[in-house]
Each structure stands twice: as structure tokens, then as C-alpha cells.
Structure 1
């Protein structure tokens, strides 16, 4: 929501990847990491590509553990430590998925690499949703994986039938 009060999440589109009674974890999918691309990161990690790796921007997944990488991808790739997510998605945080993306194994059909994640303690996310800090919509592949990071927030709102120009952080009482 506008006026979230935390610049790290202003206009963020976050996919909740894990959620249970103890915690919630998600990745922002619309925050590029200052021009860093996946091929750049693979080179830094000394992972040689055997295929042409798309120059997708690496994302800032959230403020927690920003040195740790996570790959959100379609579930046609499943590593030993992949976490299945609803809607045909999976999340993997191992070097193996990076090697697959570089062509060492069958890569996922679509993937986004993010550094860091967003995390919530028990009941925190539910409380924030209850207090209208977050709006919730269904995810879809194009919203998650396309490169139009500037418009993802307004597109997510559009899925809810909300015009971002008419959305306000100010509320009233009736």
C-alpha cells in the first residue's frame, strides 16, 4: 500500500514463498539490483556458461541476508533442495540451480535470481494484511518473470481492479 512507511517496501511486489504458523518468507520481484545481471553474477561466482544466459537483472529480494541468493523459477526444474510454491513455481537457493541456468543441466523455463529476502515472524504478516499494509493478489508467470519492473506494482493492483492513481494511504471512518 502507499505510505507503508518503509522505503525498502514502497511499491514492492512480493511473492510469498513460504508461510506457516511460525514465519513467512517472500521475494520482491520488482527491485533490480543496480544493473547487476545474471551473467555478471555467474562470472563473479566462476560459473562458466555453456549456453547464452539472458542478461536478466538480478533482483533485491528483500532486506534480510542480502548476500544470500535465491532463484525463483518454474517447477520444470527441481533440485534436491527446491521448495515447491503454488502455481507451478519453485524456489531454490543452491549453486546447482545457477549451474543449470548456465547450461550444465536442463535449466528452468523461466527464472529470476534475487539477493536477500523478506521475512516475517509468527503472525506478523497476517497482522500487516489485517491493517491494510499489504494488498494480496494471485500471482502469474508474466508478473513474476517479465522484465517490466517499473510497472509490476500497478499491474498487480490492476489484477485487483484497482487504479493506482485512486489508491490512497489516508483512510477515514464512517
Structure 2
């Protein structure tokens, strides 16, 4: 895959007309993209579940109360019982994929234990499940105007309110999502 078509470390922004309930008005952070397909984490769909609930279920003691009310996100429709932690790249854990020098994704229990103890990454987003596309599938969906894509910014992932992330990601491209037509590019 050429650097021009690799969407790793990009936001995938659902177009307003995308009606799939798994991706309606979502922003997905693309963690990996190759000729074999793509994998990402939806960053703007908080669940009615908090880290305290996850820690309790996994029997992880909580030493840092400030993290217990942190929301858990629906990361996507694939393996929705599996946890993924997007976080700053200041530390490595047992199962970490360093996406960029600033952003990593980890799937091992040790990072959750560190977060509960107040020793985890300062910036983190915990999600259950992920989004996945087979070879050529994402490229096809982009050609059909289902998505916008653009370079990701960690500030949107970690510091923006989840309800603001969809438009904030589009703002990076200078796009007002409320003004888009479903027929863009099909004159």
C-alpha cells in the first residue's frame, strides 16, 4: 500500500447519510490499514458503562477514583466483548501496537490494571469492540461517499467531549457536515 492511500492514523468520518446503525455519525480512528484491510476504533459512542464497571467485572482494585467514572466506548461491531485502549505512547504494555509516536492501542489486561491504580497512560480511551474492513472494502466505501477521511489529532480523541468529535474531526478538513449532500461527487 502506498503512503498516499494508507489511512493509518486517520479519522474515518461517517457521512451524514450513512445509515448503518453501527456507524451513524461516528468517527473511527484507523489503527491499521494495509492491502489486507483496515482496523479502527470508534471514538464517539460512549456506552452506559464506566471503567468502574469493567474493573469490578475483572476484579481489578481501583486506587484512583478519578478514572472510575470514565466512560467506556462502543469501539465497533466486531468482538464487542474484547477491550481496546487507545492511549498516548509514553509507555508500552504487554500487547501494544504503536500507531504513531503519539498514539498506541493496547489489548492486554496490564494497561487496565495500571489505569485502575492511577499509573496508566494519562490520556486513554477504553472501548469494547472494533471496526474492521476486508481487503478493498474500505476503499470501495470511500469511493461510494460513505466516509470522509483525514489525518487524526490526539486532542480530538482524548480531550474533546464525545458528542463534539464527529464535527471536530470534519472541522480539520474544513467541512461542515450539516451542509453536505448525499450526492457529493456524483454530478
Number of residue pairs matched? Answer: 172
For the aligned residue pairs, the C-alpha RMSD in angstroms reads 1.6
Structure 2 distance, partners of 1:137, 1:173, is 21
The aligned residue for residue 136 of structure 2 is: 123
Unaligned residue ranges in structure 1 (runs of 5+) = none
Structure 1 distance, partners of 2:186, 2:135, is 29
Pair 136,87 (structure 1): closer, same or farther in 2 beyond 3 Å: farther
Question: Of 56, 77, 85, which residue of structure 2 is paired with 1:71?
Answer: 85
List per-residue Cα deviations over 1:72-96 (Å, max 9, x = no partner): 1111121132001125111111111
Q: CA deviation at 1:113?
A: 0.4
Q: CA deviation at 1:119?
A: 0.4
Pair 131,51 (structure 1): closer, same or farther in 2 beyond 3 Å: same
Q: Is the 8 A contact 1:39 1:53 kept in 2?
A: no
Structure 1 distance, partners of 2:104, 2:87, is 5
The aligned residue for residue 101 of structure 1 is: 115
Structure 2 distance, partners of 1:37, 1:151, is 19
Q: CA deviation at 1:51?
A: 2.5
Give the TM-score, by structure 1 length.
Answer: 0.92
Aligned ranges for residues 23-172 of structure 1 at < 5 Å? 23-34=37-48, 36-54=49-67, 55-86=69-100, 88-103=102-117, 106-146=119-159, 148-171=161-184
Unaligned residue ranges in structure 2 (runs of 5+) = 1-14
Q: CA deviation at 1:26?
A: 0.3
Give the TM-score, by structure 2 length.
Answer: 0.86
Q: Is the 8 A contact 1:53 1:102 kept in 2?
A: no
The aligned residue for residue 9 of structure 2 is: none
Q: CA deviation at 1:40?
A: 2.0
Residue 4 (structure 1) aligned with residue 18 (structure 2):
yes
Structure 1 distance, partners of 2:184, 2:167, is 20
Structure 2 distance, partners of 1:53, 1:123, is 42
